[in-house]
Amino acid sequence: MNSRLNPYIAFDGNAKEAMELYTNVFGGKLTMTTFKEGGAPHDPSEENKIMHAMLIADNGITIMASDTAKKWGYSPNTNISISLSGDAEAELKGYWDKLSDGAQIEQPLTQAPWGDTFGMLTDTFGIRWMVNITGKKS
């Protein structure tokens, strides 16, 4: 798999409905995982909220999204990040290292509960980035 760059949208509790609409608009395959299913630490009242959703349309359009956990706080107009993902570990770590220079690290690039390596940062220009390196399959 090559590295992929796509928008990642944070919603205020309605990610499921929004992603279903985008599936209607663009077609393709939609997958969604709740906080409970994903194994990430969460407030019990948020277990059915969407931890991660991904729509891949037949033409390659990709949109990722999640609901914003209470502990992160939802901020309209700052709820879109750029996501870099794939299995090209050295390439993606190189991007992370360069983007990290002077950045505010929100989540260090470390092993995530879902088995991948994941990190989040805001670069020196105020752009939010997420990097997800697909875990090795055993």
Domain locations in the chain? 4-133
Q: What CA–CA distance (Å, rounded) separates 107 from 96?
A: 12
Q: What values do phi and psi take at 22, rounded to 5? A: -65, -30
Instruction: Give the pLDDT confidence score for residue 138 in this predicted structure.
Output: 58
CATH number corresponding to 4-133: 3.10.180.10
Distance CA 5, CA 7 (A): 7
Tens digit of pLDDT per residue, the chain (138 long)? 688 899 999 999 999 999 998 999 889 999 999 999 987 767 888 899 999 999 999 988 899 999 998 888 887 777 889 999 999 999 999 999 999 999 999 999 999 999 999 999 998 878 889 999 998 765
DSSP 8-state assignment for residue 42: -
| pTM (two decimals) | 0.74
Here the contacts of 123-127 (C-beta below 8 Å, separation 24 or greater) are 123/99, 127/82
